[in-house]
Chains A and B, each alone.
Chain A
Amino acid sequence: SQTIHQWPATLVQPVGSPLSLECTVEGTSNPNLYWYRQAAGRGLQLLFYSVGIGQISSEVPQNLSASRPQDRQFILSSKKLLLSDSGFYLCAWTSGQYNQPQHFGDGTRLSIL
């Protein structure tokens, strides 16, 4: 069966520090991968998605970047964190086939001080 892992579960970082969040998927190949941000009590904002290694599409201009160095690995990064980067970051995958759902990881709670 397929599983998705995100780490760390929680992270507290000072303003101006770098960020690296990692997401890996097991049990499938060539998945579509997604990064979302969820503000407290709010909906899901799609940040980036990837349909293959090295292929990254950005949905909103921001202080973050994403990379996909391997088929089942998706990384969210920042060189200098802002207070506004605080939130709950979720990674998701789908097979990319017709009418298949996205499956989410358990997220990373990022607090910027």
Chain B
Amino acid sequence: QQQVKQSPQSLIVQKGGISIINCAYENTAFDYFPWYQQFPGKGPALLIAIRPDVSEKKEGRFTISFNKSAKQFSLHIMDSQPGDSATYFCAASIHGSGNTGKLIFGQGTTLQVKP
């Protein structure tokens, strides 16, 4: 299965709260899991990425948690700020099949952080 299922579709969080976005996949050959942040009218920008040999990766207020056995990974945004309001995409890829670098994207989560 070449799908990545992302939830929730939309999320409203109060300033200072924790935002959590979840993704699940079926293909155990996926070996690279990036998260992208997209503001309206702009292209997605890489936020943070993880490989399956690591269970957690943290960069500032952003943390990816990875559960290989459950085939799930999630993005946690600590101390959420209004400036974090954007659409977030998880993605997955398989390297080795001709190095195409193709990404399979989740459907996106629109995050609104209320002041």
Chains A and B form a bound pair: yes
B110 CB to nearest chain A CB (Å): 8
Q: Are A99 and B32 in contact (CB under 8 A)?
A: yes
Number of B residues, CB within 8 Å of A: 25
Residues from chain B with a CB closer than 8 A to the CB of A41 are 110
What 1/0 flags go to A88-113 for Cβ under 8 Å of B? Answer: 00101011111111111111010000
Most buried by A among B34, B89, B105: B105
Q: How far is the CA of A3 from the CA of B36 in the complex (A)?
A: 17
CB atoms of A90 and B43 under 8 A apart? yes
Q: Is the interface of B mostly helix, strand, loop or mixed?
A: loop
A44 to B107, CA, bound (A): 7
Q: Does B114 contact A (CB under 8 A)?
A: no
B51 touches A99 (CB 8 A): yes
Residues of A within 8 A of B95 (CB): 98-99
Map CB proximity to A onto B70-99 as digits: 1 under 8 Å, 0 otherwise. Answer: 000000000000000000010000010011
Is B41 within 8 A of A102, CB to CB?
no
In the complex, are the beta carbons of B107 and A43 less than 8 A apart? yes
- Nearest A residue (CB) for B10: A41
Q: How large is the interface on A (under 10, 10 to 19, 20 to 34, 35 or more residues)?
A: 20 to 34
- Chain A: which residue is nearest B106 at the CB level? A43
Residues in A with CB closer than 8 Å to B102 are 34, 46, 49
Q: What residues of chain B lie closer than 8 Å to A44, measured between beta carbons?
A: 44, 89, 105
Residues in chain B near residue A24, CB distance under 8 A: none
Residue from the list B44, B46, B99, B108 in contact with A42, Cβ < 8 A: B108
* CB proximity of A62 to chain B, nearest CB, Å: 17
A interface residues, Cβ below 8 angstroms from B: 32, 34, 41-44, 46, 49, 51, 57, 90, 92, 94-107, 109
Q: List 8 A-B contacts (CB under 8 A).
A: A46-B102, A51-B98, A90-B43, A98-B95, A99-B49, A102-B34, A102-B103, A106-B43
Footprint of A on B, CB under 8 Å? 31-32, 34, 36, 41-46, 49, 51, 89, 95, 98-103, 105-108, 110
